[in-house]
Chain A
Amino acid sequence: MSAEVKPDRTGPAGAFWSALDGGRLEFQRCRACGAAQLPAREECTACLSPDLAWEAAQGGATLISWVVYHRPYHEAFKDRIPYNVAVVELDEGPRLISNILAPNDSLRIDMPLRLELGESFGQTIPQFRPRVPTG
């Protein structure tokens, strides 16, 4: 299996990754109904309007859930084991897959998080750190 891991920039996801190249985590805001969404799509899932704008996330978020990989599904990640993958909810509403920059055994459901940009395989990615120190 190829060790190369990179995002697919075709379609509406291209703008998401381009914003991250510029150091910003952005989500889509519907100009017609105001709904916020990720992942990027061609239409708003609330009102189906194609009139979508990009808005920068302020950085506050909450931990919805997480898992810890104890075996690699891809050779590029075998040196990271055990590593976490989390579902994070931005304060603005959209959710995304991410990693939490904290010991795996310190993670708690609904813990407050703060955005911290990181890097994975040369691509800037949004990661998150607990907002208060944990034991």
Chain B
Amino acid sequence: MTLSGTCVIAGIGATAFGKHPGRSSVSLNVEAIRAALSDARVDKDRVDALFVKPPTSDFQMLYTVKVASALGIQPRMGGAWDQGGAANATLISIACMAIEAGQIDIAVVSFADNPRTGNAAVYARPRGDDSLYGWFGTLPGYAMIMQRHIGEFRTPPEAFGAIAMAARNHGVRNPKAQVRNPLNMDDYLAADPLVAPLRRDDCTLISDGGGAVVIMSAKKAAELGVDAPVPILGWGYGQTFYEVAYRRDMTSTMAQTSGATALKMAGLTPQDVDCVQIYDCFTIAALMTLEDYGFCQKGQAADFVKDGALMQDGALPFNTSGGLLSETGMPGMQLIHEGVRQMRGTSVNQVKGAGNVVISNQGGVMQTHSTLVLGQ
């Protein structure tokens, strides 16, 4: 039995991205869910599963129950999934499996957080006992992996610049994007390093905001007359070791397994993929995911991404709403929303003839990975 295509994303909704001073993450979830339910034209009382990625900056017990209470619903299934930024994609796949197992009919997956106007201390905390060496923060873990990639494969700064430019220059045309000034290679190369080799424009935004999706079977969507159901064709997962220092191979991740599993389930090869929305919290994460998914050989991304290959009209259109680097620093849901818009034909950077889209979500310092493939 394959579940490929049996379930659909029936609705998407989000808050504005940027700053929401004084708003709780529960309230931002409610706003996003209200918008997603409205998009799907589903009443909240028909939702019988609520899955939430807990807010990164304010992890809480029984968080999903709090959101369900604010929504005034008593779903059958509910829960939060701790997989860092990989959680949203995984929760969508869990919804599909629960629907096909007959446990639920309509699921909502949601995420909201307010690290920009709230508390972003989680991103700067010491890393175990290694604080004595000055080892602090999430960002430097990515810099460590990036330096190894540069050393092993002679990856030039322009490869990372090409990724930053593709995300930003797609974001320029997205009215919802948080950063919309164009970026060229000279700007990219001229910025001071934060933690070398990471430059300013290699790094995610930090944003308040929320996003949600509504999931149901294709059959249910037909029955309810959902306007633009987007079939979920495949998914896959992977997880690697916690400490960056102790990974034997620092320049590959379990994105390889995640991507291969999802593409196989969807009946696709990397050559068949029309469009990608890749988790770009840092340019190195996106570059390695392109390699790990098999769009090019390991270590060859520099050649692959040059000459505008990642732009809307390029060989592999990438992060067409701006991603974490330009649209919002939200961990992953915005990529799923943009995948849905590409399949509906409503993206501000619509890829001509796109019949499928591959979406990556990943968490921590590339420890967790989850892949979704959507179709039409």
Contact = CB atoms under 8 A, between A and B. Distances in A.
A98 B194 contact: no
Interface string B302-322: 000000000000000000000
Contacts of B295: none
Nearest to A71: B194
Interface residues of B, number: 34
Interface in A43-99: 64-71, 73-74, 77, 80, 82-83, 85, 87, 95-99
B250 A64 contact: yes
Nearest to B140: A67
A65 B195 contact: no
A53 B94 CA distance: 42
A99 B161 CA distance: 28
A67 B132 contact: no
Given A64-B250, A66-B144, A97-B245, A73 B137 contact: yes
Contacts, number: 99
A89 B301 CA distance: 26
A110 B150 CA distance: 12
Contacts of A83: 134
B193 A97 contact: no
Contact of A73 (B136, B150, B197): B136
A69 B148 contact: no
Interface residues on A, range: 35 or more
A67 B193 CA distance: 11
Contacts of B186: none
By DSSP majority rule, is chain A's interface helix, strand, loop, or mixed?
mixed
A125 interface: yes
A108 B154 CA distance: 12
B26 to A, nearest CB: 28
Contacts of B147: 65-67, 109
Given A65-B144, A66-B144, A85-B140, A121 B132 contact: yes
A13 B132 contact: no
B223 interface: no
B191 to A, nearest CB: 11
Contacts of A123: 132
A64 B133 CA distance: 16
A98 B129 CA distance: 11
B133 A99 contact: yes
Contact of B143 (A67, A74, A80, A82): A67
B151 A85 contact: no
Interface of B: 124, 126-137, 140, 143-145, 147-148, 150-152, 192-198, 243-246, 250
6 contacts: A39-B129, A68-B196, A71-B194, A77-B136, A85-B130, A97-B133
Interface of A: 5-8, 13, 17, 38-39, 64-71, 73-74, 77, 80, 82-83, 85, 87, 95-99, 104, 108-110, 120-121, 123, 125
Given A77-B136, A87-B245, A97-B135, 16 more contacts: A5-B132, A6-B132, A39-B128, A39-B246, A64-B148, A65-B145, A67-B196, A67-B198, A70-B192, A71-B194, A73-B134, A85-B134, A87-B244, A96-B245, A97-B130, A108-B151
